[in-house]
Amino acid sequence: MPHAEAPMPATRPPASDVAFTPAVKAIQARKGSRHGYARMEQAGGWQATVTDDLADFIAAQTSVFLATVNTQGQPYIQHRGGPAGFLKVLDAHTLAFVDFAGNRQYISSGNLSENPKAHLFLMDYAHRQRIKIWGEARVVEGDDALMARLMPQGYPARPEQVILFTVTAWDANCPQHIPVRYEAADVAAALDARDARIKTLEQEVQTLRAQQQG
């Protein structure tokens, strides 16, 4: 009796399907971009895990936007900031940061209690790079060990809770239309270096003049 053939494994949908819903794909088809994105999906598409390059990008950021949505479909975007590295990579699928005490509106917390779907938007203005991360998030309260692990050392803020973010997919955008802006600390460092160079050159000029006059 012939052996039955093993069933073919189900094809996993591309990671970009988290954003490219049927409605989105229909508009892409109508506007002429679906073919290009379909080829991107066939070639592997978006990443679903945190790569070394993404981890390096995250470690350099001092600002991030967290998007959530409630059960009525109302979205909310919240800014979170801190020293470089405040948004941490825990493993290939998990990001986390300490949620510092603020104005106590708790809109993001309330939204996540009803709907875990969330999005992180990271923008590097100096290098004109942006990263979009889809996933699910949850609030962790009362875990002192995790809080201590994630709290930036010496940062003057009061930690209240932790946000854990599970990565579903991420994508890097092109630099088009991103204005170039620099961190104040980077500008200050560049000006200090310029002033030090000017002082050195002025001293060299004075030395040369003294030699010529002598």
In the chain (214 residues long), the average pLDDT of successive 10-residue segments reads 52 88 96 94 90 96 96 95 95 97 92 98 86 97 95 94 97 76 72 82 84 79
Quick one: CATH architecture of 46-173?
Roll (2.30)
Q: How far is CA 182 from CA 65, 105, 107, 192, in A?
A: 18, 30, 30, 15
pLDDT at residue 3 in the model: 53
Q: In whole angstroms, what is the distance from residue 57 CA to residue 64 CA?
A: 12
Q: What span, in angstroms and rounded, lies between the C-alpha atoms of 185 and 200? A: 23
What's the 3-state SS for 89-140? EEECCEEEEEEECCCCCCHHHHHHHHCCEEEEEEEECCCCEEEEEEEEEEEE
Provide the pairing of β-strand 94-100 with 129-140.
unpaired
**Hunting for tokens 């794909």 — which residue is that?**
25
Q: Give the whole-angstrom CA distance, residue 189 versus residue 178.
A: 23
List the chain domain ranges.
46-173, 182-214
The tokens describing 74, both together, are 């109302």
Instruction: List pLDDT tens digits, range 28-70.
Output: 999 999 999 999 998 888 999 999 999 999 999 999 999 999 9
